[in-house]
Amino acid sequence: MRLLCLVVFLVFLALPGLAAPASAQQESPEQEREHAFLEAFGGVLADKPQKGSALDTSLDQALQADLRARADKGFAPAQYALGYRYEHSVPADYQQAAAWYRKAAEQGHTDAQTNLGFLYEMGNGVAQDYKQAVEWYRNAAEQGNAGAQAHLGLLYHEGRGLPQDYKQAVEWYRKAAEQGSAVAQFNLGGLYESGYGVPQDYEEAYFWMNLANAEFSDPSVARSRDEVARNLTPQQITAVQKRVREWKPVAAQPSGQ
């Protein structure tokens, strides 16, 4: 059974999640100003500090202080941004990353929930705890976060932190895959190829692996897709390739909607 793990997980998510949580209410003028601040400097905040540097080396000192002030005031996107930078500073400070992610996660920030879940999954900055990882992933996944959905699918797939359940893996992979998660697309394709959690269907496997291949530079993804194609006729391959060209990702939908 083919499986593409999410260890280098941030490569496959939209980064960084500086938007407010989906559940946020109407913003005050102050919150609107804070969002404008984060949007203006989003690209800078996403840059990873260089090796041997302090956290704030690649940020203007005043900007770093402004970001910290907003985080201290409880602004979840700023807390998330600080957590992200602590996680990706060199050397990383996973404990600080976990602390700031938790502050934002507890306010419903889905990217912070996802990243905190990942720290629990890997045991970085916190004691490794798959059940905690599942809890945080599920919180974000149920709000429509594709990265969390892909991670939750993987834990169901492998039976870590909860009983192995291929049908649940398919369900969560599909939600993420339909939003454009290449990892979820590949893993969903692998389940269609093997017939775990779904009836075996080489056309569906080829479809999802084709979509995943468009996002990956790893030649093993293309090889897996091509191996699946050997089970299809030229007419089937042509039909699937047409579906791939016409495919569009869907918008995130919280569970129950």
pLDDT classification of 65: cutoffs 50, 70, 90 = confident
What residue spans of 159-230 are helical by DSSP H?
Answer: 166-179, 182-194, 202-213, 219-229
Mean pLDDT rounded to a whole number for the chain: 85
pLDDT at 21 over 90: no
pLDDT classification of 192: cutoffs 50, 70, 90 = very high
**Contacts of 209-216 spanning 24+ positions with Cβ under 8 A:** 209/185, 210/240, 210/241, 210/244, 211/177, 211/182, 211/185, 211/244, 211/247, 212/4, 212/182, 212/183, 212/185, 212/186, 214/182, 214/244, 215/12, 215/180, 215/182, 215/185, 216/182, 216/186
Nearest to 136, CA basis, from 114, 152, 153: 114
pLDDT at 218 over 80: yes
Given this model, what pLDDT does residue 1 score? 62
Given this model, what pLDDT does residue 3 score? 65
User: What residue spans define the domains of the chain?
Assistant: 21-113, 144-250
Given this model, what pLDDT does residue 61 score? 77
Q: Which of 20-24, 33-37, 202-206 has the highest mean pLDDT?
A: 202-206
pLDDT at 96 over 80: yes
Could you read off the pLDDT of 224-249 as tens digits, one per residue?
A: 999 999 999 999 999 999 999 999 99
Could you tell me the CA-to-CA distances from 69 to 20, 54, 72, 76, 82 in Å, in that order?
17, 18, 5, 12, 11
Work out the average pLDDT over 32-37.
61
Work out the average pLDDT over 192-213.
98
Name the residue type at position 34. Answer: E
Could you read off the pLDDT of 111-156 as tens digits, one per residue?
A: 999 999 999 999 999 999 999 999 999 999 999 999 999 999 999 9
Fold for 144-250, please state it.
Answer: 1.25.40
> To which H or E segment does residue 46 belong?
helix 42-46
Work out the average pLDDT over 61-77.
88
